[in-house]
């Protein structure tokens, strides 16, 4: 009986592990390893792939945009990770850059309905965009960007519960719950604010 119970427990653990596995659904390294589905559309800014990074040189625009169509649909956890280096700043709260995710319109000013994880020279921020508007929902000081430094940003978004967790260099900084969560998206988008920045990679996983 004990052996059967142990076997059953092992099977359940293995089943849970498979069920909870993160599946890579999109990856852009901006080099020769990229697949054909890596196809970014520039809208505003001076975007160029340089030395294996997607770089923006426009330090005058407050809302640059380059986007990639990616389906984000399902009741689960979407995990976004990108690596960004702040190369130079043009004033204001620069250096400042981030990523729109769960976006319904990659070409729009605020990417339709979306969330925006954003870092400026003061704080790490989370915005929610709905109907063309944008609203700050979390602003955590003490985690500002610095010219010349590189940061890895990781977002874990649970569509069913609306929970958003944001990690900066592996440290959990933001843990927020949206009571009216966005349930699907069709694009992701890089955004900079009077900042020259280089995105080394961006990856998306999905966990059921």
* Residue range 59-66: mean pLDDT, rounded: 98
Question: How many other β-carbons are positioned within 10 Å of the β-carbon of residue 102?
Answer: 29
- Whether the CB-CB separation of 208 and 94 falls below 8 Å is answered with no
Q: How is the chain split into domains, by residue range?
A: 23-207
CA distance 193 to 91: 9
pLDDT in tens, 79-133: 999 999 999 999 999 999 999 999 999 999 999 999 999 999 999 999 999 999 9
pLDDT at 20: 60
* Residue range 11-31: mean pLDDT, rounded: 71
Q: How confident is the model at residue 160 (pLDDT cuts 50, 70, 90)?
A: very high
Architecture of domain 23-207: Sandwich (2.60)
* Residue range 72-76: mean pLDDT, rounded: 96
Report percent pLDDT > 70 for the chain: 90
pLDDT at 5: 40
How, if at all, do strands 171-177 and 150-158 pair? unpaired
């Amino acid at each position: 009986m004990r052996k059967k119970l142990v076997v059953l427990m092992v099977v359940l653990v293995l089943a849970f592990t498979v069920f909870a596995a993160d599946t890579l659904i999109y990856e852009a390294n901006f080099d020769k390893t990229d697949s054909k589905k890596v196809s970014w559309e520039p809208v505003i800014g001076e975007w160029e792939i340089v030395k294996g990074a997607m770089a923006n040189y426009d330090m005058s625009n407050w809302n640059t945009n380059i986007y990639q169509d990616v389906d984000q649909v399902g009741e689960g956890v979407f995990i976004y990770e990108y690596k960004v280096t702040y190369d130079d700043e043009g004033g204001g709260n620069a250096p400042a850059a981030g990523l729109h995710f769960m976006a319904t319109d990659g070409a729009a000013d605020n990417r339709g309905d979306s969330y925006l994880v954003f870092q400026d020279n003061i704080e790490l921020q989370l915005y929610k965009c709905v109907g063309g508007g944008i609203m700050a929902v979390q602003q955590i000081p003490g985690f500002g960007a610095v010219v010349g430094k590189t940061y890895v940003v990781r977002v874990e978004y649970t569509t069913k519960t609306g929970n958003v967790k944001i990690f900066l260099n592996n440290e959990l900084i933001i843990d927020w719950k949206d009571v009216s969560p966005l349930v699907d998206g069709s694009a992701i988008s890089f955004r900079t604010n009077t900042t020259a920045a280089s995105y080394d990679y961006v990856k998306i996983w999905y966990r059921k």
